[in-house]
Structure 1
Amino acid sequence: MVTAADQNQTSLHIERTIEIAAPIQLAYESLLEQLGPASKMPDGTPLPMKLEAWPGGRWFRDLGEGTGHFWGTVQVIKPPTLIEINGPLFMSYPVMSHMQYRLIEKGEATTLQFLHQAIGNIDPSHAEHVTPGWEYQLGQIKQRAEKSA
């Protein structure tokens, strides 16, 4: 017997590489800002996130007064070159994600390699919108770093 849950997508794999015209330290600081207090939705709505930037630290949406959504746990952090986070991210159902931001110094510029992989019963609407969402977030990191350079 096949249920509706069995018909859902069971994996995601998204890879993106962007070039940032800013030194690696500025790109890394912009990444931390985007993962934390500067995060917002593509329509401009604030997305109040907190990142505890140490191994085992939480990454969560902070709605105030002890409410919010757990998105993940910092698995690896090696400033200013690597952050990896594991958890459900924006998906509040049985799913596990691994997200990686790898920064590579290229003189006065930085290459940012992004990877998001997930397994589980992934809602089709999430699967459809996740790529444009990450592209927006990466664009915000690039814009913030280049403005600071």
Structure 2
Amino acid sequence: MTQTGIGVGVARTEVEVTVGAPRERVWRALVEETGRWWPREFYVGREPKGFIIEARPGGRVYEDWGNEAGALWYTVLVVEPPGVLELAGHLTPAFGGPATTTARLTLKDEGERTVVRVEDAIFGRVDEHTVPRLREGWRALLGSGGLKSYVETPP
């Protein structure tokens, strides 16, 4: 049985968020302190212990549920500290797939601030809601509900 409005294709979006901190600080928060700013509503596990980015080629981007359980979000393809992180992952039917996703995050200096840019593309099962959901998700993760708030809020 097939649903109308869903087919195989490519969905692509780009999002930019400006963070009021130097690039090295934003990079450190992005790849080393992810579990501290990752929004609770983005976890897929019921009782996650943390969200981890292993910032090295072949590293994992995953939710740690403890006891060797968890969810793999991406595999790291490219790391160029403190400016580029490229990822590739798979979406199962439970998350809108089957599809493959790639994301490239770049950090650029803008005076004393940093522009965080993500380019995300999904190939596979997509529909008219895919791009708006991607854009909204990345804005929430990187913006005032996630990375930006964490970095800009004093301890």
1:51 counterpart residue number: 53
Matched, 1:4 2:2: yes
The runs of 5 or more residues in structure 2 that have no matched partner are none
1:113 match: 117
What is the rounded CA distance, in whole Å, between the counterparts of 1:7 and 1:69 in structure 2? Answer: 28
2-side partners of 1:64 and 1:20: how far apart? 32
Cα distance in 1, alignment partners of residues 40 and 63 from structure 2:
12
Residues 36-77 of structure 1, C-alpha deviation per residue, up to 9 Å, x if partnerless?
453124589986322111011011122211112111110011
Contact 2:13 2:121 in 1 (8 A): yes
Structure 2 partner of 1:129: 133
For residues 30-109 of structure 1, the aligned pairs below 5 Å read 30-33=29-32, 35-42=34-41, 48-88=50-90, 91=95, 93-109=97-113
Q: 8 Å contact 1:27–1:145 — kept in the other structure? A: yes
More moved, 9-18 vs 69-78 = 9-18
Which range moves more in the overlay, 79-88 or 29-38? Answer: 29-38
1:138 equivalent to 2:142? Answer: yes
Q: Secondary structure at the match of 1:77?
A: strand
CA distance in 2, matches of 1:32, 1:6: 39
Segments of structure 1 that go 5 or more residues without pairing to the other structure are: none
* Equivalent-residue separation in structure 1 for 2:4 and 2:139 (angstroms): 29
Please give the per-residue CA displacement for 1:13-39, whole angstroms capped at 9, x wherever unaligned.
110112221111111122225644531
Q: TM-score, normalised by structure 2?
A: 0.77
How many residues align? The count is 147
**TM-score, length-normalised on structure 1?**
0.80
State the one-letter code of the partner of 2:135: T
CA contact (8 A) 1:42 1:136 kept: no
Asked whether the equivalents of residues 12 and 131 of structure 2 are also in contact (C-alpha less than 8 Å), the reply is: no
Measured in 2, the distance between the counterparts of 1:72 and 1:133 equals 16
**Residues 106-134 of structure 1: per-residue CA shift (max 9 Å, x gap):** 23111111111111114777665332221
Judge which range, 34-43 or 72-81, deviates more: 34-43
Distance 2:42 2:78 in 1: 30
Superposed displacement of residue 92, structure 1: 6.9
1:28 aligns with: 27
Match for 2:23: what amino acid? I
Report the RMSD for the aligned CA atoms in angstroms: 3.0
What does residue 13 of structure 1 align with?
12
Measure the CA separation in 2 of the matches of 1:28 and 1:96: 25
CA distance in 1, matches of 2:132, 2:24: 33
| Identical positions, percent | 25
